[in-house]
């Protein structure tokens, strides 16, 4: 999975340990700076990636931030949780199935990022 995402994607990098079956995927810092992506923009883009992956038969999720984070005291304002995708890999899948799922996720990210990413969401939700 990691081999399909980290070195091959221009958009994301894996931040979790290579031995961890839960892969955490975040946008590369240069992408965030170049496109001036806010936290909300990153969350919206990752939500679109989740939907696109699901449409292609691969279920992933966004890494949820705890509501507690926003209620921390003034001394803890340095806490900055970066939006991310969470991909859980199971031993029930073959290596070929895992590689195919990684390719689907990478293509979903590329498709979403290939759109106009600086447009603001027009929905009221």
How is the chain split into domains, by residue range?
A: 2-68+81-114
pLDDT, tens digit, for every residue of 6-25? 888 899 999 999 999 999 99
d(CA 15, CA 78): 20
Right CATH for 2-68+81-114 from 2.40.128.110, 2.60.40.3620, 3.90.1150.10, 3.30.390.30: 3.90.1150.10
pLDDT, tens digit, for every residue of 76-103? 555 567 899 999 999 999 999 999 999 9
Closest CA to 4 of 63, 89, 92: 89
Cβ–Cβ < 8 Å for 87, 23? yes
CA 97 vs CA 2, 8, 21, 89, 124: distances in Å: 13, 18, 15, 10, 38
Does the CA dihedral 49-63-122-31 come out positive or negative?
negative
% residues pLDDT > 90 (the chain): 64
- Cα angle value 97/53/17 (rounded, 5°): 65
């Amino acid at each position: 999975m990691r081999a399909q995402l980290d070195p091959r994607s221009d958009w994301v990098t894996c931040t979790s340990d290579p031995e961890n079956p839960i892969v955490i995927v975040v946008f590369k810092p240069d992408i965030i700076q170049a496109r001036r992506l806010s936290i909300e923009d990153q969350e919206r883009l990752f939500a679109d990636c989740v939907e696109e992956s699901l449409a292609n038969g691969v279920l992933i999720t966004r890494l949820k931030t705890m509501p507690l984070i926003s209620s921390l005291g003034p001394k803890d304002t340095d806490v900055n949780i970066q939006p991310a995708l969470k991909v859980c890999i199971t031993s029930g899948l073959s290596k070929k199935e895992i590689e195919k799922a990684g390719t689907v996720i990478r293509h979903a990210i590329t498709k979403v990022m290939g759109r106009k990413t600086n447009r603001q969401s027009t929905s009221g939700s």
